[in-house]
């Protein structure tokens, strides 16, 4: 994937989340797992609905997954994107098993802001990383770009991170802090 998409591909929130989640599983870091859980669940659910909608109707309802049907992209590259389907289930299982750390929402706001800024500063505008140029393929012309980016950061926090973390917290069934629960990993 790196060879065909380039390193800027890792500014995407969902791609960055994979690396953070890999590290957090390796180190049993519940705070990092919790930080990515809400985003992974919401983005994965929307991505999966978009893909299934495209498979059924022939048209992508949200405009997120048309690349999955682009024959110019290798089947291997497209197949790797199916992590959007199973990764949310895995992260929910992890949060049920290790506990959800409520501080994860705030950490995700910081990580997400860094990813949006990184995609905007270092990404090719044609790539539209994290929708910094055209949200859902609609050219952003309403605000100056320097004002749109902070609005995008806050909007993503309110519309993606917060609902996702509320869902994960409800499913995880408990909120654990690093100091209170032995045997549940580090924070």
CA distance linking residue 10 with residue 23, whole number of Å = 15
pLDDT of residue 4: 52
Asked if 161 and 40 count as a contact pair (C-beta separation under 8 A), the reply is no
pLDDT of residue 103: 93
pLDDT of residue 54: 92
pLDDT of residue 181: 45
Compute φ and ψ for 186, nearest 5 degrees: -90, 165
Extract the residue ranges of the chain whose pLDDT is less than 50: 1-3, 177-187
Asked if 23 and 29 count as a contact pair (C-beta separation under 8 A), the reply is yes
pLDDT of residue 128: 65
pLDDT of residue 9: 67
Closest CA to 47 of 76, 72, 95, 80: 80
- Using only the alpha carbons of the chain, give its radius of gyration: 17
pLDDT of residue 127: 72
Asked if 78 and 126 count as a contact pair (C-beta separation under 8 A), the reply is no
Asked if 72 and 66 count as a contact pair (C-beta separation under 8 A), the reply is no
pLDDT of residue 184: 46
CA 181 to chain centre: 27
pLDDT of residue 148: 83
Contacts (Cβ under 8 Å, ≥6 apart) of 148? 132, 140, 142
pLDDT of residue 1: 40
């Amino acid at each position: 994937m790196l060879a065909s998409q380039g390193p800027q591909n890792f500014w995407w929130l969902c791609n960055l989340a994979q690396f953070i989640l890999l590290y957090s599983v390796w180190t049993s870091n519940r705070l990092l797992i919790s930080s990515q859980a809400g985003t992974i669940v919401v983005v994965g659910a929307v991505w999966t609905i978009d893909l299934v909608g495209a498979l059924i109707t022939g048209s992508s309802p949200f405009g997120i997954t048309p690349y999955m049907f682009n024959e110019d992209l290798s089947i291997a590259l497209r197949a790797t994107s199916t992590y959007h389907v199973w990764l949310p289930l895995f992260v929910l299982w992890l949060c049920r098993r290790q506990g959800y750390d409520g501080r994860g929402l705030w950490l995700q706001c910081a990580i997400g802001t860094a990813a949006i800024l990184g995609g905007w500063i270092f990404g090719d505008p044609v790539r539209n990383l994290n929708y910094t140029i055209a949200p859902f393929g609609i050219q952003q012309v309403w605000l100056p770009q320097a004002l749109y980016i902070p609005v995008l950061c806050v909007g993503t926090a309110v519309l993606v991170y917060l609902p996702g973390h509320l869902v994960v917290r409800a499913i995880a069934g408990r909120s654990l802090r690093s100091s209170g629960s032995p045997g549940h990993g580090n924070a």
